[in-house]
Amino acid sequence: MDIQPQPVGCCGHDCSRCKIYLATVHDDEQLRQESKQFYRDAFSADLPLHTFHCLGCRSEDVFALCRDCPFTVCADRHGVTHCADCAEYPCPALTEYQKTYVNRCNQIPPTKPTK
């Protein structure tokens, strides 16, 4: 599998901390199980374990619940790679989504810099 770096999603989601992305890149069954449990508990989405696979929103291998992401569709429509590159940034829909979900759900904690 040829894995390309996918550091940030269209909406600003940090793929490098996303448990589904990390489970895919590192073939980590524990992170896949944690993701499945998170989506079951948070959204009542009981998805098969094999669907917890993603190489980022701009790849051909996108997590099942993110395949129809309105922000990716909108970024494409506006001819930008990321929402932050759009002339209409930040739009109300993105602002609300970022406040609620971006880098707040199913992510490993950020690492603290060492001194």
pLDDT at position 53: 94
Average pLDDT over residues 86-92: 93
Could you list the beta-strand ranges (E) of the chain: none
Residue 105 has pLDDT above 90, yes or no: no
51 in Cβ contact with 45 (< 8 Å): no
pLDDT value of position 7: 76
Instruction: Please work out, in degrees rounded to the nearest 5, the angle formed at the alpha carbon of residue 54 by the alpha carbons of 34 and 6.
Output: 115
Report the pLDDT value the prediction gives residue 95, as an integer from 0 to 100. 92
**pTM of structure:** 0.81
Mean pLDDT of 13-34: 93
Tell me the per-residue pLDDT of 31-82, one tens digit each, with 9 for 90 and over: 999 999 999 999 999 999 999 999 988 888 999 998 999 999 999 999 998 8
Please enumerate in sequence order all residues whose Cβ is within 8 A of that of 16, keeping only pairs 6 or more positions apart, or say none: 7, 22
> Is the predicted pLDDT of residue 113 greater than 70, yes or no?
no
Signed CA dihedral, 69, 41, 54, 19: sign only: positive
